Amino acid sequence: MTDLHHTAITRRTAVTAAAATAALLPLAAPATPARAADGPAFLHGVASGDPLPDGILLWTRVTPAPEAVPGSGLGPDTEVTWEVAEDKDFAAVVARGTVRATAAADHTVKADVRGLRPATDYFYRFGAQPGVLSPVGRTRTAPAHNAAPGALRFGVVSCANWEAGYFSPYRHLAARADLDATLHLGDYIYEYASGAYPERKYTVRAHSPAHEIVTLADYRIRHGRYRTDPDLQALHAARPLIAIWDDHEFANDAWSGGAENHTPGTEGDWAARVAAAKRAYFEWMPVRPSTEGTTYRRLRFGNLADLHLLDLRSFRSQQATTGSGDVDAPDRTIIGRAQLDWLKSGLAASGTTWRLVGNSVMISPVAFGAVPAELLGPLAELLGLPKEGLAINPDQWDGYTDDRRELLAHLTGRSIGNTVFLTGDIHMAWANDVPVKAATYPLSASAATEFVVTSVTSDNLDDILRVAPHTVSLAAAAAIRAANRHVKWVDMDSHGYGVLDVTPERAQMDYYVVSDRTDPAATASWARSYRTRSGTQRVERAEGPVR
């Protein structure tokens, strides 16, 4: 047994909790749950993340006293113990340690546990004072770097707006026992004031705080609010999370020097807001900060896949004005020189069968064809376009074409195959080839493939139009596919999640949809599956989900 000691690291609720609680029952802590009024309590669940072959990052928050609510800055320092075991009864503890929860870190704690076995399930829990135990979480380490796993399977999610609905996609992923980890592609929280997005008459449940979040306390309160959701707690407790941020962890359409949803005159200095958002993020998320305190980093899963996780907000140039021609300027970047070089180097040096890229905004180009006039406005809202429907989304890679050209030229010039971009952001599901030259595709090459998952709750086309799903969007989908032959499928109306299954022969995304985002007991069903076979750089439809 090893004794490990570690210190804490510093966009876009009334729910039926029965199903989520049922998912957690096999992992329930044996001690009697404590209320904050009785002393220390673990009210925000537990989490793990960033699995390594020999380790895992553990997270929790302790509420040491009733007044020590998130963002308050109140409450005493509290010693928190942690244990990792091979069994859920903790008869075979393999590692334990102590961390200190302080108001300076919003009473969140992390333990970066090492010395574990590769590709192994473990159970973990936290404690504060004798008999006060957290819920039990289950986690899993990554395969050894030289191992040859026969398959990997990841849940994939994006865009969870608290006010727009309930997080039932998280509950359905938590109930699966076949996932190695869950990949969150950004917009884990949203920064808007209550009733701003969606407008108040469509709000399902209210944000906290009610105003737009700007300060460190605001971001902490918003993260804390999210962590009271039982489906989110269930997801975190079921398996490790691998997360990157997008814009709403800061403010809508963020870039390195500001954001569309930031007004310096009334909301303060942008750099101070970003610093507050990042600090709260790393306090509340089971994520290891990497170079320059960002979320770009790399994880490896044996010789089957490595995962290159991007930060497409911290270093980007301001979004261009559509139609200005600036989208092609070589001095504009979405990724930053250092990160682009890091990505290119990692892709070239990868010794794995598959190169997965966690990519918060869509890399595949999108042009409008003969989209019906009544759909131009709603589509423009989703795609970040002017209402007149011009063909470029300046917030995605379409607005930074020189970076995309350089990256795709690197893939083709170095014969780097089996690169799969995993993307969120636009509240629609897509399956795309990533063409080197879209205008001549499919006669020209495809450099990679891309699977885009829809939102957990954030508004999509039918939500914006306030119509039944799949009643008016089919014409728009057909027009987009006709104008973009590399787009194999797009679903503009559903909410849900993806399950990515990777084997040496293929990478397949199974798309699942939920019945109603406003129903806390929503059911989930399979919708479509698409795959790319090793060596092809092309997407094809699969007959059904991987079982």
3-state secondary structure 191-258: CCCCCECCEHHHCCCCCCCCCCCCCHHHHHHHHHHHCCCHHHHHHHHHCCEEECCCCCCCCCCEECCE
pLDDT tens, residue by residue, 279-325: 999 999 999 987 778 999 999 999 999 999 999 999 999 999 866 67
Numbered ranges of CATH 2.60.40.380 in the chain: 2-10+13-140
Residue 240: the pLDDT is 98
CATH number for the domain whose boundaries are 152-541:
3.60.21.70
State how far the alpha carbon of 214 is from the alpha carbons of 205, 206, 452, 515, in Å. 21, 17, 29, 34
| Topology, domain 2-10+13-140 | Immunoglobulin-like (2.60.40)
Q: Is the pLDDT assigned to residue 520 strictly greater than 60?
A: yes
**Residue 41 DSSP class:** B
What is the C-alpha to C-alpha distance for residues 176 and 166, in angstroms, rounded to an integer? 19
CATH 3.60.21.70 domain range(s) in the chain: 152-541
Residues 533 and 144: their CA atoms lie apart, in Å, by: 24
Alpha-carbon distance values, 241 to 137, 156, 227 (Å): 12, 10, 14
- Condensed to tens digits (0 to 9), the pLDDT of residues 196-216 reads 999 999 999 999 999 999 999
The mean pLDDT value of the chain amounts to: 90
User: What are the backbone dihedrals phi and psi of residue 6, each rounded to the nearest 5 degrees, phi first?
Assistant: -135, 155
Q: Looking at residue 373, what is its pLDDT?
A: 63
Residue 371 has pLDDT above 90, yes or no: no
Report the relative pairing of strands 46-52 and 55-61 from DSSP bridges: antiparallel
- CB 322 within 8 Å of CB 308: no
Alpha carbon distance 427, 430 (integer Å): 10
Q: At what angle do helices 373-383 and 473-483 cross, to 10 degrees?
A: 70
Residue 390 pLDDT greater than 50, yes or no: no
User: Which pLDDT value is given to residue 384?
Assistant: 66
What was the pLDDT predicted at 107? 98
CA nearest to 214, candidates 272, 161, 159: 272
Q: Is the peptide bond before 365 cis (omega within 30 degrees of 0)?
A: no
> For 58-76, how does the pLDDT look when each residue is reduced to its tens digit (9 = 90+)?
999 999 999 999 999 999 9
pLDDT of residue 289: 80
